[in-house]
Amino acid sequence: MSTVQHIAKFFPTTHLAAAAICTLVIGTTLVLLPESNAQQTQSLPVTINEDTASAVTDILEDNDIAVNATQTELQLALVETATTPPAAGSADIEQLSDDADKPVRMVVENIPLEDEWKDFKVSNGDSLSGIFLKAGLTATDVYRVTNAVKDTKALTRIYPGQTLSFLIKNDQLVQLRHIKSQLDTAVISKTEDSYILEEHTRKPETLQRFVNGTINNSLFLDAQQAGLSNRMIMELAAIFGWDIDFALDIRKGDSFNIVYEEKFLDGKMIGEGNILSAQFTNRGDTFTALRFTDSKGKSSYYTPDGKSMRKAFLRTPIDFARISSRFNLKRKHPVLKTTRPHRGTDYAARTGTPIKSSGDGKIIWRGKKGGYGNAVIVQHGGNITTLYAHMSKFKKGQRVGKRVKQGQVIGYVGSTGLSSGPHLHYEFRVNGVHKNSQTVKLPQANPVPKSERKLFNKVAADVVAKLESYKATQLASTAN
Ligand SMILES: [Zn+2]
């Protein structure tokens, strides 16, 4: 399995913004290459862009070339993996476990487990009644069991990878266990004239783990060597991805500290939890982030003084795309030799690639707009508007006046209007003045609200103290 696919495997279970994911995967792929190559590869998008700009001499406003092969492959790898149905139950735990396959038997202790138990692992296309028949039971048994639990959610869904265990005595089903995950089991037991259901849920023990490392080769290699899983590396990079470009900014000597949760069941690690705090030092600048869950249960990452780690705008409102033309107010038209400014950033991408609103806001234009073709304009706070042009189609169910969230899809890449090929033309305006979306200073997302401040300060002090004490312990142990 390639690294990209391996990483992509974790996508369905992570809660990362799609934008961050895309940047990360591409970033990770780049930094995986040996250093000499990495340098070349990193400058590749720029090289293509300049070559293209001079080579393509059409009279249209925007230049485009097809998405390059690497990105196409990446995209395919992602799409393939992403369409795999999610693993059942607490998938994040199961995927990370070495032997999630093995049914957990110790869940119910009152009945000894002997040979009379028959285990069936659910495969794709299996039905409940099919498995009953395989176990030697009849359609009547299926009916009696499902009828007995019909007012519950038990047995309404079985997923590939789960296990059904039958205890059959004298052709009679005595007990059925639906082992949904290492943590959840439904036990259906025979009574005198029917069946009763018991749901067993186990809580894993959560422990904290501290890992630190220094970059010698790449974030990916060095973090992996330090003991971080791919998922943790992705999440670490997602937290700092708003401040650090992990494909371009990383230098030898950069370092990181991370405290995260590990979940244990019967003394065995069954999965990873959340990153509680993390630090990344990039070229001498140290960024610190901590996870805060507010009183309503919503979690996000903040600096120790309560600023959001996120920005109010995505730098790039599209995944699986490559810059094909940059913002340039002095662009000389290749054919006409006159100055024809390019007041936006172009992203070459396949027709149909989703386009996301770069920030929270309200749709103020949605329709044909001259050379822009099908365009959407979103009004944000701070007198900022963003414009998305040449769409093939709009996202269904939206209209002018409707509010959209950062990252919400608003339309799809196309080539409508004055466009030489499928791409997104993206504009960022402040008080009506066009800014370079690649370099404009983006406002932070909302800080910790006043009402949560007291709770936050307490949590932040605890978390930072813990991080510092882990670091001190680590230093002491390496000094010995
Ligand atoms: Zn453009």
pLDDT tens for 297-324 read: 999 999 999 999 999 999 999 988 889 9
Does 195 share its domain with 302? no
Tally of domains in the chain: 3
What is the pLDDT, as a whole number, of residue 113?
A: 53
Q: How many angstroms is it from 64 CA to the middle of ligand 1?
A: 9
Structure tokens at 98: 């070495």
The answer to whether residue 96 scores a pLDDT higher than 80 is no
CATH code at position 152: 3.10.450.350
Q: What is the pLDDT of residues 195-234, one digit of tens each?
A: 999 999 999 999 999 999 999 998 999 999 999 999 999 9
Q: How many angstroms is it from 75 CA to the middle of ligand 1?
A: 23
Cα–Cα distance measured from residue 193 to residue 377, given in angstroms and rounded to the nearest whole number: 65
Q: What's the mean pLDDT in 115-135?
A: 92
Percent of the chain with pLDDT over 70: 75
Q: How many angstroms is it from 67 CA to the middle of ligand 1?
A: 16
Q: How many angstroms is it from 390 CA to the middle of ligand 1?
A: 9
In this prediction, residue 356 has a pLDDT band, given cuts at 50, 70 and 90, of very high
Does 457 share its domain with 440? no
Q: How many angstroms is it from 466 CA to the middle of ligand 1?
A: 49
Q: How many angstroms is it from 397 CA to the middle of ligand 1?
A: 26
Residue 365 parent element (H or E)? strand 361-368
Does 22 share its domain with 49? yes
Cα–Cα distance measured from residue 22 to residue 26, given in angstroms and rounded to the nearest whole number: 6
Range of the domain at 232: 88-97+204-310+449-480
- The SS3 call for residue 387 is strand
Cα–Cα distance measured from residue 271 to residue 470, given in angstroms and rounded to the nearest whole number: 21
What is the pLDDT, as a whole number, of residue 114?
A: 54
Does 92 share its domain with 77? no
Q: How many angstroms is it from 334 CA to the middle of ligand 1?
A: 14
Q: How many angstroms is it from 248 CA to the middle of ligand 1?
A: 24
Q: How many angstroms is it from 91 CA to the middle of ligand 1?
A: 42
Q: How many angstroms is it from 413 CA to the middle of ligand 1?
A: 13
Residue 428 parent element (H or E)? strand 423-430
Q: How many angstroms is it from 427 CA to the middle of ligand 1?
A: 8
What share of residues in the chain are helix, strand, coil (percent, to 5)? 30, 30, 40
For the ranges 84-88, 102-106, 333-337, 452-456, which has the lowest average pLDDT? 84-88
The answer to whether residue 378 scores a pLDDT higher than 80 is yes
Q: What's the mean pLDDT in 130-136?
A: 95
Residue 104 lies in a domain: no
